[in-house]
Structure 1
Amino acid sequence: MTTGDPDPTQAVKRLIDEVMNQGNLDVLDDLYVPRLAAVARRWVEPFLNSFSDIRMRIVELVVEDETVVGRFSCSGTHTGTWLGHAPTGRRFTNVAEVYFFDVVDGRITRVWGLEDTADRLRQLGLSPAGD
């Protein structure tokens, strides 16, 4: 990051605060390059609809050049259909997530991540597919 370049962590912080925690999907168009904004919406919107009170906490952000690596902790209550599972009303807490974001000129250009879906399913009393 050179002087005058936007801080790449700001896009990630806004994603967590404004989109995931506040549910403001319109912010996606500002945070992602156009070709990815619709893709992000197709993933984020159903997730937010499945867990009405999502809270994501930033555990750690590490920056190298244009890449931001984020470690997050996610909690929420299962109030809508998720991965084909009807709402349980159960809550999951502190599910670990790690994402890599490429951020160019303040906008996310690429995302790759891992979530502990097995822990989320376990906490909700659901079995992973095939169990």
Structure 2
Amino acid sequence: MSAEENKALIRRFFEEIDKGNIEVLDELVAENFIDHVQPSLPVPPGREGLKMAFKMLWDATPGYHQIEDMIAEGDKVVTRLTGHGTHTGSTPGIAPTGNELTLSAIVIHRIANGKIVEHWAEKDMSAFMRQLGVTSTSAQSSRAAP
């Protein structure tokens, strides 16, 4: 696949997730998908685990992804994005807050044979946890003080 075809695949991936269309992952993601991100949800490996994770996240924080930048080279696509959602459902250990959430991330997907086969991501989890009320800005700044 060309770089533009790979980018189109990743755009569709995020569009379908934003619609809550988890079943389309059977078409877009390889069965033996590898997620290199430290798991934060109790799901099995592979495509089925990814589907379970997205379902949990969709149920807890429905929203959408805004693609800020996308770069493709060879079999990899790098996407800088912002996720937007509302914390309306339970997440592990955190009751629904109703808070509006924003999460910035840089995500790398590797594509083979027209499907997503690997995933890496860096996310601003400290800001996300502050938005959920798990940590506070004052607690963060007091730790940074000399």
TM range (shorter): 0.7 to 0.9
The answer for unaligned runs of 5 or more in structure 1 is none
Quote the offset at 1:6 in angstroms.
7.5
Alignment check: 8 A CA contact 2:4 2:72 kept: no
> How does the TM-score come out when normalised to structure 1?
0.85
Identity %: 27
Rg comparison, structure with higher value = 2
> How does the TM-score come out when normalised to structure 2?
0.77
The answer for unaligned runs of 5 or more in structure 2 is 34-46, 141-146
Structure 1 counterpart of 2:26: 29
Counterpart of 2:20 in 1: which secondary structure? coil
Structure 2 counterpart of 1:116: 124
Alignment check: 8 A CA contact 1:6 1:106 kept: no
- Using a 3 Å threshold, how does the CA distance of structure 1 residues 6 and 55 change in structure 2: closer, same or farther? closer
Q: Which 4+ residue blocks in structure 1 deviate beyond 3 angstroms?
A: none
Residue type of the alignment partner of 2:6: P
Structure 1 counterpart of 2:10: 12
1:51 to 54, 61, 66: 61
CA RMSD for the aligned pairs? 2.0
Counterpart of 1:34 in 2: which secondary structure? strand
Cα deviation digits, residues 18-45 of structure 1 (max 9, x gap): 11x1110011111111123212112211
* Pair 1:91 & 2:100 matched: yes
Quote the offset at 1:126 in angstroms.
2.0
